[in-house]
Amino acid sequence: MRKLKLQVQTTADGYMGGPNGEMDWMTFPWTDDIKAYITALMEPVDTIMLGRRLAEGFIPAWEAGPPGEDQKAIDAMNNTPKVVISDSLTESPWKNAVVAGGDLAEIVKRLKSEPGGDIIVYGGSTLVTSLIAQGLIDELHLFVNPSAIGVGLPVFPYAHGVQRLNLVAATPFDCGITAMHYEPKRA
């Protein structure tokens, strides 16, 4: 069965964005060691999952070829099929992307049961917190940046109680980011 992996940039205090989604706390430029880690993380992945609001910026940005990204990464992002989770869209306005709406747990169950490689979810915050709250993520890859913002969009939904995790690995990178690889503890 396919795994659903979360890859998200976070602050040291657990936010994936400022109160209005600000990302000015992220560490750049990335060093070769973090790029190699992400390349290895993506190797078994053949599907990207995004929330609608993130997709609206993410997909066009990669299609335009972000400055500073190598062509191999740009091609990988553009050629990997995407599933955009949305109840407001009925069809995809983007190439290589389909829209899925309705019950999130059913969508994830269906995707995991299909043949193929792993699925990676990048966000946005509403989708990530919903996936975590429903226990749908198999691996969490939190890229902890050396910054704290005090308030913002949390990775973990407070209203759903304690999230118990098993640490698989902690990998520091030369740029100051540390990748924290967790798996949820299942009851």
Measured at the alpha carbon of residue 98, what is the angle toward residues 2 and 119, in degrees to the nearest 5? Answer: 20
pLDDT band of residue 127 (cuts 50, 70, 90) is very high
CA separation for the pair 157, 153 (Å, rounded): 9
Q: What is the CATH number of the domain that holds 45?
A: 3.40.430.10
By percentage, how much of the chain surpasses pLDDT 90? 88
Q: For 86-122, what is each residue's pLDDT tens digit?
A: 999 989 999 999 999 999 999 999 999 999 999 999 9
Largest CA distance in the chain: 44
The pTM for the full model equals: 0.94
Within a domain: residue 13?
Answer: no
Structural domains in the chain (count): 1
Task: Say if 4 falls within a structural domain.
Answer: no
Domain assignment of residue 181, yes or no: no
Residue 36 lies in a domain: yes
Q: What is the span of the domain harbouring residue 109?
A: 27-176
